Structure 1
Amino acid sequence: MRDITFDSETFRVSLHVLSVCVWVGGQIVVGAIVPALRRKHPEALSAIAKAFGRIGWPFFGLATFTGIWNMASLPGTSSAWNAALGIKLLLVALSGVCAWLHQSTNRPAIRGITAGIALVTSVAALVVGVMLSA
């Protein structure tokens, strides 16, 4: 039988889940509203992107920090688990790089491709993270 406690593990995992929710969920929300904004209020796109950046990047950093904190607190793991963790880390890194490239270019095709890759790799990292925690 498991006890219910609020301890450092609960705090650490809660911070990690919250930060991943903001990073991944924010990408989904921004991606969903961009087409409507582009049609009705194209001048608002830049402000929305900057607002997401002010929130999203700190939470990406927090997700990275708490992810490392989570890894440091783990007992021994199997080689398959370690391989999945390596895949998750690559997905997280690719998500961050693509999000950075997305905000760093003015070329519409590059922006679209990098936004899509950032979102897909973010969601994939989330799924692998759930697999690792099960």
Structure 2
Amino acid sequence: MGIEDYSGGPGAQQTGVLVVTTNDVPGYRVERVIGEVFGLTVRSRHLGSQIGAGLKSMIGGELKGLTKTLVETRNQAMERLIEAAKARGGNAVLMMRFDVTEAADVGTEVCAYGTAVVITPAAS
């Protein structure tokens, strides 16, 4: 897998929603604050990856199967976040964050959350 498989979610060009981790977007003005939005998913690891991870942890190194699963899980949570923002009329999400927790020892819960807003280009 290449770097594109391990980096960031979809861009604004693909989704119509800009997602940033900052409080504002340079060159844009917040016209309306919609409120908190989130995307949530819980994924379990299959038995093969758990066994492979257990063996790999004894010799060290990256757990590539688990890394791939976590990237896919984060991307799914972010896609759900974007859909929530769009459904409420937003075209941007400010202060996006991820929260990752273990879910009852059977999987990983990933929540992407932020503030949905409507932004417009600032007058020059």
TM-score of the two chains, using structure 1 as the length reference: 0.31
Higher relative contact order (CA 8 A, sep 6+): 2
TM-score of the two chains, using structure 2 as the length reference: 0.33
Q: Which structure has the highest helix share of the two?
A: 1
